[in-house]
Amino acid sequence: MTQQPTYGPHNPHPLSTLRTELVWEGKYDEYGQRREVDIAGCAMPMQKIESIDEPRREAEAKKQLSLFEAENKRQDDFRNRLIWGDNKLVMASLLQEFKGKVDLIYIDPPFDVGADFTMQVQIGDEKEEIGKDQSTLEMVAYRDMWGKGTDSYLHMIYERLSLMKELLSQNGSIYVHCDYRVNGYIRLILDDLFGLENHLNEIIWCFLQGAKSKRMFGRKHNTIYSYSKFPGYQVFNTEDVRTEMKSGKSSFGGRLETDEDGRQYRLVYGTKNTQGETKYYKYYLDEGKIPEDYWTDINSLQSGVSERVDYPTQKPEALTRSHHSSLIQRRRSGCRSILWVGNYRSGCRAAGAQVVDV
């Protein structure tokens, strides 16, 4: 009979030296080495199916095409790409062109096992609808995502977040949208990949609409994690994210004052220093304020809203505009933004990938 090893100070048990981390089946290989993301054979040529240039079409209709082409010399420079395919394959294919060049990524991954992303698609002006079932590619992606339950999901999200980090520029940042079912797992994976020092915000998006449980408090919020690629390098344009500062005391605290020019401000008392001196801060109402990391002014999409396309995980455009404006409004002419969401509109260059809601 094999004698079991005796553990102690001279022979520490392996569990006693483990660092804090999230471990899942597939994270390490048979030799205990961290598995690299395997993208061999993943990069594939992309076939252009359709080009849509609305400004060019409008200029042509107004018989101003020559003027349009004179003012827009870079005719072949892409503005937006909507790419059909598993986003792991898509990102692997984009690495050669965009590695280290993407300023902003937003991803809205699936939240729960067993989600069905079959959808209704409107055809033509008569609003006739046809059902779009999962394709073979979608079924494969679905199997890879949930084949082994939580382990498959964690491995899937880790590989894709790893590729996103490779795509991010030095000033890049990422926003990851999730809910109570997976936010704990995703937070640990993001800390592992990007480092705790690059964590920017845990944004709480609160909404009131929808059914409410009678057995517990209503689950009426999602979480959006934001990380930078390098500490202190991310772009955050404070002037473009400012919101109204209300005059009521309960909204901001302090005392409402008026300066010699008639401008109202809140005089807020700070803490005392070691010399017993109190710092005072002035916040002018007409300058607005930088929003907090909990958002209560954006509602979830309800039936009858014009932007709604009845996709199960669709998010309101106001939500995506809100947490991207810190970068996009400032870098409107030049940033390359890859957004893994189909309903986002901006003046920036953007690319989106869609098979299932990944």
pLDDT of residue 258: 92
pLDDT tens per residue across span 97-116? 889 988 888 888 876 545 44
Asked, for residue 10, whether it belongs to a domain, the answer is no
168 and 284 co-located in one domain = no
CATH number at residue 116: 3.40.50.150
168 and 238 co-located in one domain = yes
Asked, for residue 198, whether it belongs to a domain, the answer is yes
Asked, for residue 82, whether it belongs to a domain, the answer is yes
219 and 150 co-located in one domain = yes
Residue 187 in contact with residue 227, Cβ under 8 Å? Answer: no
Asked, for residue 84, whether it belongs to a domain, the answer is yes
Containing structural domain, residue 129: 78-242+291-358
Least confident of 130-134, 233-237, 291-295: 130-134
**pTM for the structure as a whole:** 0.77
Place of tokens 């008639």: 262
148 and 251 co-located in one domain = no
238 and 254 co-located in one domain = no
What's the rounded mean pLDDT across residues 22-29?
90
CB atoms within 10 A of CB 346: 20
298 and 283 co-located in one domain = no
Q: What is the mean pLDDT of the chain?
A: 76
pLDDT of residue 100: 94
Asked, for residue 356, whether it belongs to a domain, the answer is yes
pLDDT of residue 119: 44
- Report whether pLDDT(285) > 80: yes
pLDDT of residue 190: 97
99 and 195 co-located in one domain = yes
More confident residue, 177 or 47: 177
Residue 43 in contact with residue 88, Cβ under 8 Å? Answer: no
Q: Provide the number of structural domains found in the chain.
A: 2
83 and 147 co-located in one domain = yes
Residues with Cβ < 8 Å from 50, sequence gap 6 or more? none
How far apart are alpha carbons 267 and 288 in whole angstroms? 14
What's the rounded mean pLDDT across residues 208-237?
87
pLDDT of residue 331: 35
Phi, psi dihedral angles at 106 (to 5 degrees) = -125, 130
pLDDT of residue 141: 56
pLDDT of residue 133: 55
pLDDT tens per residue across span 162-218? 999 999 999 999 999 998 988 999 999 999 999 999 999 999 999 877 667 789 998
277 and 295 co-located in one domain = no
251 and 194 co-located in one domain = no
149 and 298 co-located in one domain = yes
pLDDT of residue 41: 75
Q: In the numeric block, which tokens belong to residue 341?
A: 């969401």
182 and 235 co-located in one domain = yes
How far apart are alpha carbons 29 and 2 in whole angstroms? 27
Domain termination site, one of 289, 323, 349: 289
Residue 219 exposure: Cα atoms within 13 Å on the Cβ side: 7
